[in-house]
Structures are given as C-alpha cells and as structure tokens.
C-alpha cells in the first residue's frame, strides 16, 4: 500500500522523540505544544499505530515508535539531500536581525537550522526594526524582523511578509491577587494597570503597547530598562499589582516567580514580519519564507471577532479582511 507521508508530521515525531517532551519539541520547531501534539496524532492515524506512550509528566516511545524512528530520520535526511541537490550555492552566511534573542523571530531561524544545522547564519539584535532598516539598505544584513505598518518607514527597495501573529500575555509576580487565574481579560487590566521597561528609545513594541493602553483605557507606567532577566523579575515585583505585557512565544521558565497568563476579550496579537530587499534576496530568505508559509495555519491564526490589532496594522496587513499575509 502506498503511503504519502507529510514531512512536517515526520519531523514533528522525530523532534519529539529526541526531546521526549512535547513542549520542548514545539519550541525547537517554533509551533505551539497543541500543534505538535496534533501533528503526531495525525501521523499515528496515517500509520495506524501509536508512536508514544503519553503519561501525565512524560512520554515514551512505543515499540512501533522505536521501529519508526530510524527510518523516519532517514526520510528527513533524504528529503534534505534531494532539496540540496537543486538549490543554488549560498553566496555568504545569512545575516538576519532578530530584534532580540528571546523573541518570536528566533523560532523561525531555529526552524531553518533544524532543516540543516550546517547552514551559515549570522544573527544581530538591534532591538527594533527602525534600527535595522539602515543596515539592510547598506547591505550589512540580508533581512530583518519587526512590526511593519504604514508608519514603519520601510524603504521602497524593500518588501515584507507577515510571518507571525504572536498572542500577547500578561506577566505577573506569583503573589499577585490574579496570579491563580488561567487567563486575564482587558477589563482585569483596567483594574491593575500595566507597566513595561523602557530602554530610552521608542520601539515598535513600545508603540504597540501604547496603542493597546489607549484603545482599552489602561493606565500605563514606564520604568527604566531591565538590565537582565533577574532585574526584570525585580521590576515585576516592584510594580506590585500592575501587569507587564509580553509575548507568548517568549519562555519565562527562567524564573518560578513569573506567571504568564493569556489575555482575552479580546486577545491582542503582535504582528511580526520579515523584511528584505527586492533585488538582493539571499537564497536562505526564500527558505525562511517557505517555512513561514508552511506554518501559516498555526502562526497566522486570527479571528476578527476574538483578536485585536491596532488600526494601522489591520489596514496594511488585511488580517481582518481574511487575507493574512
């Protein structure tokens, strides 16, 4: 019997088998834990066999999973070899600005390296898209991530693609009165107010949070910069009952003192785009675009009745008209 295996499903299985943990596997690939679990279940359905024993705290390979793992790795290696046989040579390492090494763009770069760990990639972190655009025009980098909207100042020789609508969460100290909830609403934030560290210059994220506060009548307090993860935790405690907006793709596991709660009613989403020059596109930029397109169902999920974007983003990206990217 012929069986057409979806490589994305096979890769999800292999990474999960290597990590023996669905959340860590999802972080490696750059998708949600729910999405990778669904992928593995679809693969199990196609194969007609369970691949994992799923316990409350761990997963283990079944006998079928152990037998499938070696051939599955061979399938992925053969697919990489087939693609490499027709790809043009890479002229130089991909130079990409990811804003900050903790944020959502790094998931896409990691997904690229998961396909081929030997790919040459150089990262920079200029903290904001407007800071990386001059370097893009000068040819110092090949692409950059950031929030693209009508006021973003994208030069005419550049173009962009939406790659992620990242849900915004609320960060609270574990002793906060609302920390035991499983989510917060915008009405809750009106009671607490919000704060965020400020680094001396206006970034796309700062502007997004300001628009969020204005739209929903939230009091906004700015502090000085957070100089380290430990310093951020100190600032979180210092600001008492205020909540700090953050990205859901960021891992806050470095501190047990932080509670990260989803925001709802509505759910704010932060738009990440990849920007590059039209006439000088590095071959690996196209490969990242392909990965983003493959993940669009999960990474660009948006429901106009449930989600919120600032007006300029809605108008430019067309998300609320059903054309996300």
Span 130-163, pLDDT tens digits:
999 999 999 999 999 999 987 788 888 999 999 9
Low-confidence ranges of the chain (pLDDT < 70): 1-2, 30, 87-91, 316-325
Is the Cα dihedral 213, 214, 215, 216 positive or negative? positive
- For residues 28 and 33, give the distance between their C-alpha atoms in angstroms, rounded to a whole number: 11
Position 323 scores a pLDDT of: 39
- Domains of the chain plus CATH, in order, are 7-86 (1.10.10.10), 94-165+272-300 (3.40.190.10), 167-268 (3.40.190.290)
Position 325 scores a pLDDT of: 37
Cβ atoms of 113 and 119 within 8 Å: the answer is yes
Position 82 scores a pLDDT of: 85
Position 83 scores a pLDDT of: 75
- For residues 257 and 199, give the distance between their C-alpha atoms in angstroms, rounded to a whole number: 23
What is the value of pTM for the model shown?
0.73
Is the Cα dihedral 101, 106, 112, 113 positive or negative? positive
- For residues 233 and 26, give the distance between their C-alpha atoms in angstroms, rounded to a whole number: 25
Closest CA to 244 of 168, 175, 166: 168
User: Backbone phi, then psi, for 275, in 5-degree steps?
Assistant: -120, 135
Residue 298, both tokens: 């999960």
Position 254 scores a pLDDT of: 81
Closest CA to 118 of 139, 100, 96, 94: 94
């Amino acid at each position: 019997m012929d069986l057409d295996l979806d490589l994305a499903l096979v890769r999800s299985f292999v990474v999960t088998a290597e990590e023996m943990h669905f959340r860590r596997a999802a972080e490696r690939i750059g998708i949600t834990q729910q999405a990778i679990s669904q992928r593995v279940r679809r693969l199990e359905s196609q194969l007609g066999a369970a691949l994992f024993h799923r316990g409350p705290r761990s997963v283990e390979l079944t006998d079928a999973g152990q037998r499938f793992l070696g051939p599955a790795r061979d399938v992925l290696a053969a697919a990489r070899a087939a693609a490499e046989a027709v790809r043009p040579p890479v002229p130089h390492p991909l130079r990409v600005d990811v804003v900050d090494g903790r944020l959502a763009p790094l998931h896409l770069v990691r997904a690229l390296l998961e396909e081929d760990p030997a790919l040459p990639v150089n990262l920079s972190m200029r903290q904001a898209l407007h800071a990386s655009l001059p370097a893009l025009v000068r040819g110092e980098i090949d692409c950059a991530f950031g929030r693209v909207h009508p006021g973003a100042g994208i030069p005419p020789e550049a173009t962009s693609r939406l790659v992620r609508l990242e849900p915004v969460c609320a960060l609270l100290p574990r002793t906060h009165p609302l920390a035991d909830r499983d989510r917060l609403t915008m009405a809750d934030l009106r009671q607490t107010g919000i704060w965020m560290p400020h680094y001396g210059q206006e970034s796309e994220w700062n502007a997004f949070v300001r628009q969020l506060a204005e739209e929903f009548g939230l009091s906004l307090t700015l502090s000085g910069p957070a100089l380290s993860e430990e310093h951020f935790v100190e600032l979180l405690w210092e600001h008492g009952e205020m909540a700090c907006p953050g990205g859901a793709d960021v891992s806050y596991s470095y501190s047990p003192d932080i509670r990260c709660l989803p925001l709802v009613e509505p759910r704010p989403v932060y738009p990440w785009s990849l920007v590059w020059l039209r006439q000088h596109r590095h071959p690996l930029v196209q490969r990242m675009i392909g990965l983003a397109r493959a993940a669009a169902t999960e990474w660009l999920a948006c429901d106009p009745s449930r989600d919120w974007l600032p007006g300029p983003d809605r108008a430019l990206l067309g998300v609320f008209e059903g054309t996300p990217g």
